[in-house]
Every structure is written in structure tokens, then in C-alpha cells.
Structure 1
């Protein structure tokens, strides 16, 4: 049998070269079905290589079904189904699908999607991780409860009761790898005719997800107090998605009267629910945190969702939702075979990170840190733009909303932002339906999480040139 590989210029191990040569000869029909292959000893002698090398190649071909063996007779070519069509040319990925990894050198970010990890206590986190490895090896080797480890759900339950006033039991908490996935799990068992409403402007990823799942999705405009209840009453809606503690993206905090209106709306018909997305409520400046909408709900109509993406590390992808009792029953019936999709080591680590007090200390430190940056950025923008800017100066969260008076257009500022290397997001990203805009104005959602204090002045200069 003629093998053509060059041992002096091999790209792989010799056994792999032999394997590839024989495999290709079989697939191309050069070696016919039931044809006998040279014995291991003869082929090794021909190629002047060790018999073990040939044995390894033959065993791999045997394992994959290219050849078979007869006792004391040797190895033979298997009868293999021919490809109906097999291109001999290498597949080339089209340019529009290719990805490039490059550092955004010189860029500054005023993104709302980031978190500052420069002050994160990685050493403390690693200590908690080591504790998990010491104490929970058995749990790490097993499939955990689909809602997440009970020990962490119990910890989260205590924490959100103290910080957000959430009323629940650990059994009502579902942990997942991001709020989007949790919403997908929640809505996956709702009837096809379910009608859904989301805030406008609002979180476009929820809107897109729900549309893609086949639901009828309507929008409810946001006024000065949040989701407009009068507009909501005109719609036949089963699920309403809101961000009452820090409306996304405008930053408005829903007052108590509007919250009660929403809760009253939810009880006027059966099967009405409010999904409260509490995405960054941990960050509140100057006053205490606003209690959650769920804390006011006495009728089991609010589904509460929270995340650790803003407070710890976005890349960890740990979120949770709190289900009313009857919704929990339906969730378990529908998702009985679901597997937990978060990193289990990270979940147990988070438990000890919270239990040890490190999480609370980190939050306190970050609140102070973010408050300083927020004030500095607002001060710089007001100084640079003067009466040409109106800022929704609501002391909460990791972004604020600003309206700039300018003759430029949204298309032009997006183009100029790339040239200036400034990451910014305009209201266009969050407008789910067309809404009336004030002429000669530009509305931006400005985040301050990752921008350094020493970079703020330069970032505002770039923003000024863009606008």
C-alpha cells in the first residue's frame, strides 16, 4: 500500500498521517470494501516506523468504522455508504461572517451596559471560591436543582428581603445565566394568545425576545412618572414589563401613587402579571433605596427579577427571578426537565461572598465610587454645554438621561462618535415604536461605570465635538 506522507515534514504525529492517508483512500474509493490492509508488522517495516505507531492508526480507523477486523486474519476495509455530494474544495467562511478581535485603543466609553471592575475584590472572591472547593466537592460533581442551589437561594432571599423588601421563600427563587434566559423560561409556558406590553422607550432585548417567541407585544409610553397606566388600560394586556426603581433608559423613579395604580390594574382581571426588572436598584445616591414594587404586592401578581451583572461582574451572568406561588407551580410543571444553566462553582462562590459580608462591603464602596464619577460627569457636561443641555439628574443607577439642543442629526452623531472614538447610545436604540421627538434635540443615555475620573474631561470634550 502506497502512503505518500513525508516523515521529515510532518504536520501531525506519524500515526495521524497514516490514519489520514488510509481514511482518504477509503473515502475516495482507492481502497475497496472488504479489501485487506497490510498487517501492522508489514506496514511498519515498509515505512520504517514502530509497530505501535501503525497499531494506533489502525485502532483509530477501527473505532471510527472505516475498517473492521477478523480474528487472526487482519484488518479489512469496511463497506461505507458513498457521499451523495462531497465538495473537494475547502469551505471558506464568507467575509460577512468573519470576526476580528481587536482592542479598541484610544476609545472612551459612556456606555450604560458596563460595570467598573477596577475595585472588585478578586482576592476575596477567590478565597470564597476556594472555600467552595473545600466544602462542596460532592455538589460540584452532581447536577444541582434546576432553580439553583438551595443554599444560594436562601441567601438571596434574606438579602433582597432586607435591601428591597421582597417577600418570598427560597423555593420561589429561580437562578439563571442572565435575565433574558429567565424571561424566556418564564414566557415559554404562557399560552400563545398571551398579550404582552413593554415600556417605550425601553429595553429592546426584551421586546425582541418576546416578539421572536411569537407573542403579541405592544408598547406603553413612559411619562414623567413611568409607564402610563391610562394608556395601559386601553390595551388587553396579560403581562407588563416595567422598571419602576430606575426606568430604563430615562432613569425616572416611579412614585408610590403610580405603583399602586399598576398594582390595582393587575388585579382587575385574572392572569394579569407585572414583571419588575430591578436591574440596578443597588445603586442609589443621597437617599435610601426605593422599596421594590413586589414589596407592595399583596395579591401575588408581581414577578420580580434581579441581577448581579451590575454589582459584581457582568461576565459571571448570574440573575434571578421571584415567582408568585401559582406561577412557581406552573414553572415547575413545565420545566421539570430543565438543567441549571449557570456556572455552579460561581453560584456557590456567590453564596459565600454574600454570607461573608464582602458583597455588602463591595456595594458600599462602589456606591461611593460611582456617586463621585456621576457628579463629576454631570458637572463637566453642564459646564461644557451650559443651557444647551437638560439632564434628568436622578441620583440612582449607573446611567442618566440627557437632552442636548443641537442642529445635528442622530445619523451624524453616530458617525462622528466612531471618528471621535467615544462609545455613546442615543434614544434611537431604545425606541420600540416611533414616538414624537422634540425638534433640534438629541437624547442620550450616558453611563459612567467604566469611564475613569481622569478621562471624564476628555470624554466630554469629544461629546461636545460630536454634538
Structure 2
């Protein structure tokens, strides 16, 4: 049995279990894994890759069903003899899609990416200063695994920040730290009853949708209106857990008003065991009116599971997220034997702790709000004044993307193709629809974080020309 160092990409659209499958298949097809060779146990592989055991088991089950592995009771998984069955390595449909997207980006002059940041504005000097300081003052304990829930000091700083900025009342003991929301959702999946149905909006954040499916949950969808998730429709489902993004729903950009939030909390309070997962997506960036406190801030029943991240405000590569669990669920998680080790190093936690504690994070947010607001205002003004006959805008005044609905007869597919031919990447709303919402066929999404205002100006002027209906 050999150790596996599988290069997993948590930001890829390809699910983690598929990445494990493809790696093992390639190793077998290329002869690096021989027939009869034993693979690591699901527990050992999960631990070495810092992923859930259920993800590895799902991968192994798939490989068994495809004839690559044989499951021997009480012994483990062994490589099957596939000689003569394959003469080439197949690429999955998802692999081909990702490769195609990467080639498209390589050829594109402008990318209205939805998951990027303004990298030019990252606080490099401050980050370097704090990194040097942490390492200089470090003792040997800093390089040990540390607290499996996250370092106490870091969790306390997050609790203080959430109270001041988002109106969330919680203790540091309710907070879990993890490398990305995917990981935290998998931790959550270890304590939630798999028989409970998850309710999500449609369209929605597909990564979370597939996370739930891969963990074995049944997921149902409900529609949205101008205020967000349709609670009346929710009432007619048998779901007990609902996943929402009230601060700036992705991808529709809806900011859920206070009245709808109260309706949602009322729904949760009507029955024991109901929970709301609040993904506080883009909550840091609001450009009009007073910020609305997080849904968790109004939670009198302790039924909201709050999720936040530093990826959007700082950088995706930092991969530090946090989850506030209701007291009951946190006790349930802590009572589990052999807790998962925290997936964020103590060094990175300490750097972020100081970044929060000494006011650098608040100053950085103020700076980024100004930068993104300037881009937002420029783009919105141009769209409303110069392209009113082509499209209408929604999802404005928060977050870092806009939704365009064509009113000149242009379809989503035509808009994406015309933009691509002009060297510009835009993203169709239908990519984020679970049930094939027909209204999405005339909408596209424009993210504006990555480009400078000069680049935005050049790109949007090109789009105006190519989106004129008379164009071929």
C-alpha cells in the first residue's frame, strides 16, 4: 500500500470525489498502480488529503462500480486487472468543460469574472509585516496542530468583529475555523441528520448544492421573488434546513429585506430541529443605505448556522472561513470522537488575528468599499444611460457583480457568444439554475472586481456594440 499525494483543487468546478477518482484511474491506466495492489483505507486517505471520509468512500465506490477497484470485506480496496480494457485515458465532461474555460480565458482580453478580487489592492506591506512579526515571535507551540476548532484568540477576534459589524451575538466557543466554506459544510454534514431535506433557492450557489448532494442529502429548490427566497413556497415543502444568502444572493444579487428575514426566522421557529444556513456572501460590500444586520443577529431561537469567509474581502487563496454553530449543534460536534484537525495553519490564524485585532482589516474593508463602489457606480451609470435599450440591471448596490436582463430580444446564449467573439468573457445565469429556469435564458452576470475602471470602460463599450440586436 502506498501513500497518495493527490493534487486537489478545492476551487475547481470538478467535485473533490471526482478529482480523487480521476487521479486513481490515471494511476491504474498508466501502470503506476499494479493489479492486486492495496489502496490506503478511506480513513487514512481522508486524513492525508484533509477531506472528509465520505468523499473518499464515494470515490472508492465509484471506482469499484467502474471496475477499477475491488472491495474485499474486512481487508480493504485492491486494484483490479484492467489489462486490455483501456487503451487511452478518458477525460470527463467536467474536465473538458474546465479545459475549455481555461482556453477561453487565455484568448480573452477582458474577463467579467464572478469570483475574483482587485488583487492590486491587497495589503501586501501589512501582510508581510505581520507575517514576519508572527514568525519572529513564534515559539515551538505555534508549529503544532493546535485547537481542532481553531485558535481561541482568533475565534474571539471573529466573534468581536461579527458583533460590531454584523450584529451577531455569539461566543468564541461557537465558532469553527476551516479552509473554505466547502470544508465547513462537510463538517456540518457530520452532525446534521442526513434524513433532513435541504431547501435552496433556484438559481443558487452550485458549489454548495453539490456539496450537499455529495454528502448524501436530498436537496429541493424553491423559487425567488424580488425579496429573495419565497417563504410561502418554502412552507409547502417538507424541508427542515434552508440555505440562503440574504446579504447579496448569488447569483441574483437580491438583498433580502428585514420583513422577509423575519418570515424566514418565523418558519424556523415553528418546528423543533429546523435550521437556517446563512452564507453571509458579499456582506462586506454595500454601497447604498445602512447595512442590514446578518440574519443571525435576529436569531432568538438559536437556529441560524452562520458562515463567513475572508476569501472575498482579502483573497481567495487565503482560504480562511468560519462557521458559527447554534449552541446545541456545537456541543454535538464537540462530543464527537476524534474531531477533524483544523485545516488552517496556526501561523495563518495568528496573522489574521493580529490583522483583525489591530484594525488593519477594518481599514482594508473601508478602502475596498471605496474601490468597488467606484467601479460599481461607473458600470451602473454606463449601463443605465448608454445601454437602456439593450438591457436592464438588477442586483446593484451590493456585492461585486451585476445581473443584466436583455430587453432587445437578445438571448443569453447569443450574448455570451458575441462577447466571446469580441474577446470578452461574460457568464450566463442559466449556469447556476438547478431546475432550468426559462427566465434565465435572457440574463448574464458581470463581475467587476478584477478589472480596473479603464478596462471596464473599454470592455463595456465593446459589449454595447456587439449586443446591438442588428449584429449577426
2:405 matches 1:403: yes
Residue in 1 that maps onto 2:5 = none
Deviation at 1:95, TM superposition (A): 7.0
Deviation at 1:335, TM superposition (A): 6.3
Give, in whole Å, the separation in 2 of the partners of 1:85 and 1:182: 38
Structure 1 residue aligned with 2:424, among 417, 422, 425?
A: 422
1:61-72 matches, within 5 Å, as none
Aligned to 1:445, what secondary structure does the other structure show? strand
2:469 matches 1:458: no
Deviation at 1:452, TM superposition (A): 0.8
Structure 2 residue aligned with 1:318, among 314, 317, 320?
A: 320
Aligned to 2:354, what secondary structure does the other structure show? helix
Residue in 1 that maps onto 2:129 = 127
Residue in 1 that maps onto 2:266 = 264
Residue in 2 that maps onto 1:282 = 284
Aligned to 2:439, what secondary structure does the other structure show? coil
2:387 matches 1:378: no
- Structure 2: 5+ residue stretches without partners: 1-78, 468-472
Residue in 2 that maps onto 1:58 = none
Give, in whole Å, the separation in 1 of the partners of 2:294 and 2:116: 23
Per-residue CA shift, 1:397-425, capped at 9, x if unaligned? Answer: 11122211233433333333332222211
Moved more, 193-202 or 333-342: 333-342
Structure 2 residue aligned with 1:241, among 235, 240, 243?
A: 243
Per-residue CA shift, 1:296-337, capped at 9, x if unaligned? Answer: 011100011001011101111111110000010111223643
Deviation at 1:194, TM superposition (A): 1.1
1:109-124 matches, within 5 Å, as 109-124=111-126
TM, length-normalised to structure 1: 0.76
Deviating beyond 4 angstroms after TM superposition, the runs of 4 or more aligned structure 1 residues are 83-87, 91-103
Give, in whole Å, the separation in 1 of the partners of 2:135 and 2:113: 36
Give, in whole Å, the separation in 1 of the partners of 2:80 and 2:264: 61
Aligned to 2:392, what secondary structure does the other structure show? strand
Aligned to 2:339, what secondary structure does the other structure show? coil
On the 8 A contact 1:406/1:442 being kept in 2, the answer is: no
On the 8 A contact 1:294/1:303 being kept in 2, the answer is: yes
Per-residue CA shift, 1:83-139, capped at 9, x if unaligned? Answer: 99798xxx9766777979877265212122111121111111011111211223323
Deviation at 1:245, TM superposition (A): 1.3
Instruction: Provide closer, same or farther for how the CA distance between residues 84 and 352 of structure 1 changes in structure 2, counting only shifts above 3 A.
Output: closer
Instruction: Provide closer, same or farther for how the CA distance between residues 84 and 340 of structure 1 changes in structure 2, counting only shifts above 3 A.
Output: closer
Structure 2 residue aligned with 1:176, among 152, 175, 178?
A: 178
1:211-360 matches, within 5 Å, as 211-334=213-336, 336-360=338-362
Aligned to 1:280, what secondary structure does the other structure show? coil
On the 8 A contact 1:427/1:444 being kept in 2, the answer is: yes
Deviation at 1:221, TM superposition (A): 0.7
On the 8 A contact 1:384/1:460 being kept in 2, the answer is: no
Give, in whole Å, the separation in 2 of the partners of 1:417 and 1:387: 18
Instruction: Provide closer, same or farther for how the CA distance between residues 86 and 405 of structure 1 changes in structure 2, counting only shifts above 3 A.
Output: closer
On the 8 A contact 2:197/2:217 being kept in 1, the answer is: yes
On the 8 A contact 1:242/1:274 being kept in 2, the answer is: yes
Per-residue CA shift, 1:157-213, capped at 9, x if unaligned? Answer: 101110001110001011111111101110233222111101111111111111222
- Structure 1: 5+ residue stretches without partners: 1-82
On the 8 A contact 2:249/2:281 being kept in 1, the answer is: no
Instruction: Provide closer, same or farther for how the CA distance between residues 387 and 414 of structure 1 changes in structure 2, counting only shifts above 3 A.
Output: closer
Give, in whole Å, the separation in 1 of the partners of 2:82 and 2:90: 19
Instruction: Provide closer, same or farther for how the CA distance between residues 130 and 233 of structure 1 changes in structure 2, counting only shifts above 3 A.
Output: same
Aligned to 2:335, what secondary structure does the other structure show? helix
Aligned to 1:143, what secondary structure does the other structure show? coil
Per-residue CA shift, 1:331-373, capped at 9, x if unaligned? Answer: 1223643111123322211111111211111110110111000
Give, in whole Å, the separation in 2 of the partners of 1:466 and 1:318: 40
* Greater C-alpha Rg: 1
TM, length-normalised to structure 2: 0.76
Residue in 1 that maps onto 2:38 = none
RMSD between superposed Cα atoms in Å: 2.6
Aligned to 1:320, what secondary structure does the other structure show? strand
On the 8 A contact 1:374/1:448 being kept in 2, the answer is: yes
Aligned to 1:281, what secondary structure does the other structure show? coil
